[in-house]
Structure 1
Amino acid sequence: MSSLRLRVSLEKEALKAIAGAFLAVLVGIGLSRFAYAPLFPAIIEAGWFDPGQAAYLGAANLAGYLLGAICGQRLVAYCSTATALRALMLLATLAFAASAFPLSFAWYFLWRLLSGLTGGALMVLAAPAALSQSPPALRGLVSGAVFTGVGLGIMLSGTLVPALLTQGLPATWFGLALLSLGATLASWTWWPRDRVPDSGEKTKPASNRRSILRGDMLAIYASYGLIAIGLVPHMVFLADFIARGLDQGIFIAGIYWAIFGLGALMGPLVSGRLADLMGFGTSLRCLLLLNIATVGLLCINHTIPALALSSLLAGAAVTGSVTLVLGQTRAHLSEPLLHGHAWSLATVTFALGQAASGYGFSWLFARSDGDFRLLFLIAAIALLLALAASRLSYHLHGKGEGSSA
């Protein structure tokens, strides 16, 4: 009877950690990043900032994400993981509220930077916290459940934010702050308590630091960074490509963006379930193969089925790839603290690829007189290289470094 009660208690703790991580990702990534897209034109039309300034404010979030990915793991050296997660979600809430006041460009830039920082740090800390509480056989499904928060944020960015904008920009930012505060308070007691390691465990991560820099891990990081490059054209240019590039207008572009959001919502759960059946690495490579085909398809085929399929699968890849790479790093490094450092490095690599390619694609787009097809072609090549790197990680891991993933 006592063992049954213990099992039920552990299951409850796992569910709470999963729900908390879901809300953290919703706030830190789903809303802090993607809610800015529909707010971008509204900020310009309201005269808060000119188009150039608004674009830099969007880029500030990506720069902050990179900083958060770098610093997130270091926060737990000064406080518990639960305390860090609560503080980060509160900071994200404060960033939403502060954005309701366009006091100056510097003020706004600071809060957009901090909103990105919370997203990067929450990505590094929240998902591993949930994964550490879940049964090994269900880690794919758990990872998927956590990252549906990103997909839900994309869906809300296309539905809730436009509805709030009818009440004005300040009301919209305050509405997002209230939503973020509600998620923060709801998850407050759901985070698992950190177990105090013994003296041997404390020295283990430092002594085994080289494990996170093994060949198979470096190949995973490279693959994840290349995936970020391959996904940027869809994340940044898809709506504009359909609206102006194909001359189909903003309304039709919005429909395809909703399909993209639907894919982002479904991607983690489908990818996670496949990972439980096929393995994380195999599932990731299958996802990459599908996306290489659909991203490349946009270079030659712009029919409704092609656009819809490409939008859906690209959305699924945005969130599904995060789910699968998180699980893949855990499969290669089972020790929780080492996995935390590895996931932090992977997130930094993704953030670097995303930020660099975001600016690079923008520069190329301007220099090529708006050649969208060139962007999608480069994206397909980046995804092909990501597939090769993922395959390399499989071979390196299989040669004496444990079971393949």
Structure 2
Amino acid sequence: MQPAAIQPRAATPFNVWRATVSGAGASLIGIGLARFAYTPLLPAIIGAHWFPATTAAYLGAAKLGGYLAGALVAGQLARWAKPATVLRALMLLATIAFVACAAPVSFLWFFLWRFVSGISGGALMVLAAPTILSHVPPSRRGFASGGIFTGIGLGIAASGTIVPILLRHGLTATWLGLAVVSLLLTMVAWNGWPEADAPVHVAAAHHAHAHPRTFPAKGVRLLYIEYGLNAVGLVPHMIFLVDYVARGLGKGVDAGAQYWVLYGIGAIIGPLACGHLADRTGFRAALRAAWLLQAAAVAIPAIGLGPVGLMISSVVVGAFTPGIVPLALGRANELLMHHPSAIKAAWSRATTSFAIMQALAAYGLSFVFSKTGGDYTMLFVIGAAALVVALAVDLFGALRAE
């Protein structure tokens, strides 16, 4: 009697909802908590004398430097192991970094682990969405993309509500509490990642067109510049908003955290709102509107329009912090609609440009803050100017193309 043939185990069906939850969890941990929770923590770290004010600002910039490194090495990591394995490891790495920051061992120790946290966030940003979207039918990619990037806003809002509560028990308890939240999210996301390679029709479409280097480069290069300048414009709020309210305006950490919650609320609705705007106007027009609105919102703290103005500023800048991502990705798709094989490479370069300019701005603005004796106004002026330049670059590029 011949032994029965062993049937291969059927692959687990891909679940868009579950994968989107995993992607949202990754962006929530890697960006929402690992990066943005430091903003409401900054005044408390200074107040507890863990590090002086100028040093603590540089520690915030360490995260952004790591983000750049993560964006650069993400592709190599994905070649070493399956994307699902890499994504799980990155989420665990972010969790470990929270634990490592629970005690001010030394400036170098803290800087290292903030940098490692940034690596995790940058790599998650580059890998999570493409890993999921390559398996999602085109008709559902808008939903999945919006859900994934909404995780950033959820993390920002969570950092603004959880951190003040945890801080009542001390800084060490706060860092450990964030680690617990991160671990729970990692467990929820664990089995949601697609294990198999992208569907055959996706891979075939990827190779059916010209080599990535053959696409029309001019418009895409301008997008890299504009997206990088947008990163500069976001840095003042990302790093200094809570500290500005708490110490610059003298309102205290709790008041600063309240504005950070508004920032987070804006970040939750931002990706979906920006996507809706782009559907109605096109991605180029939506990007121009985004730069104009952001420039005005970033300038508000420098002008001094009172609490209402600061509330508007927090919500608007918060909305565009994750909202600019689908707009830039959509614009890249518009520019390369006849060269789909080039989109992935272009998005990787755009993300790297964003990370480089964000890191440079973080270090540069920390230096300006130190040298000007804590002048917050200058920080917001520089951020607004960068966004005006981004708009000017796009308009100038359009005139040259005509």
What TM-score range do you get, normalising by the shorter chain?
0.7 to 0.9
Q: Deviations over 1:38-97 (max 9, x none)?
A: 333444555544545433332221111110011112222222221211111121122222
Task: Verify: 1:344 aligned to 2:351, yes or no.
Answer: no
Report the Cα offset of residue 118 of structure 1: 0.3
Task: Verify: 1:217 aligned to 2:220, yes or no.
Answer: yes
CA 1:109–1:246 in 2, change beyond 3 Å: closer, same or farther? closer
**Which one of 107, 122, 125 corresponds to residue 120 of structure 1?**
122
Q: Deviations over 1:317-365 (max 9, x none)?
A: 1111122112332444467764332222111111111111122223333
CA 1:180–1:333 in 2, change beyond 3 Å: closer, same or farther? farther
Q: Distance in 2 between matches of 1:153 and 1:23?
A: 9
Q: Distance in 2 between matches of 1:24 and 1:319?
A: 14
SS in 1 for 2:79: coil
CA contact (8 A) 1:66 1:352 kept: yes
Amino acid at match of 1:96: F
Matching residue of 1:159: 161
Q: Deviations over 1:217-253 (max 9, x none)?
A: 1111111100011112222333344445455555544
Matching residue of 1:321: 324
Matching residue of 1:28: 30
Matching residue of 2:3: none
Q: Distance in 2 between matches of 1:326 and 1:394?
A: 19
Q: Structure 1: which 5+ runs fail to align? A: 1-8, 400-405
CA contact (8 A) 1:205 1:338 kept: no
SS in 2 for 1:143: helix
Q: What TM-score results when the alignment is normalised by the length of structure 2?
A: 0.84
Matching residue of 2:8: none
SS in 1 for 2:81: coil
Q: Aligned-pair RMSD on alpha carbons?
A: 3.2
SS in 2 for 1:266: helix
Task: Verify: 1:60 aligned to 2:75, yes or no.
Answer: no
CA contact (8 A) 1:124 1:340 kept: no
CA contact (8 A) 1:281 1:394 kept: no
**Which one of 64, 76, 83 corresponds to residue 78 of structure 2?**
76
Q: What TM-score results when the alignment is normalised by the length of structure 1?
A: 0.84
Amino acid at match of 2:332: T
Q: Distance in 2 between matches of 1:83 and 1:146?
A: 18
Task: Verify: 1:259 aligned to 2:262, yes or no.
Answer: yes
Matching residue of 2:17: 15
CA contact (8 A) 2:150 2:268 kept: yes
Q: Bigger CA drift: 176-185 or 362-371?
A: 362-371
CA 1:366–1:176 in 2, change beyond 3 Å: closer, same or farther? closer
Matching residue of 2:197: 194
CA contact (8 A) 1:239 1:250 kept: yes
SS in 1 for 2:162: helix
CA 1:323–1:42 in 2, change beyond 3 Å: closer, same or farther? same
Q: Distance in 2 between matches of 1:297 and 1:40?
A: 22
Matching residue of 1:305: 308
Report the Cα offset of residue 305 of structure 1: 2.9
**Which one of 254, 278, 289 corresponds to residue 286 of structure 1?**
289
Amino acid at match of 1:93: T
CA 1:205–1:164 in 2, change beyond 3 Å: closer, same or farther? farther
Q: Distance in 1 between matches of 2:138 and 2:364?
A: 39
CA 1:37–1:395 in 2, change beyond 3 Å: closer, same or farther? same
Amino acid at match of 1:346: A
Q: Distance in 2 between matches of 1:166 and 1:214?
A: 53
CA contact (8 A) 1:144 1:270 kept: no
Question: How many residues end up aligned between the 2 structures?
Answer: 388
**Which one of 165, 168, 171 corresponds to residue 169 of structure 1?**
171
Task: Verify: 1:380 aligned to 2:384, yes or no.
Answer: yes
- What percentage of aligned pairs have identical amino acids? 47
Q: Distance in 2 between matches of 1:394 and 1:146?
A: 31
CA 1:255–1:324 in 2, change beyond 3 Å: closer, same or farther? same
Q: Distance in 1 between matches of 2:255 and 2:107?
A: 33
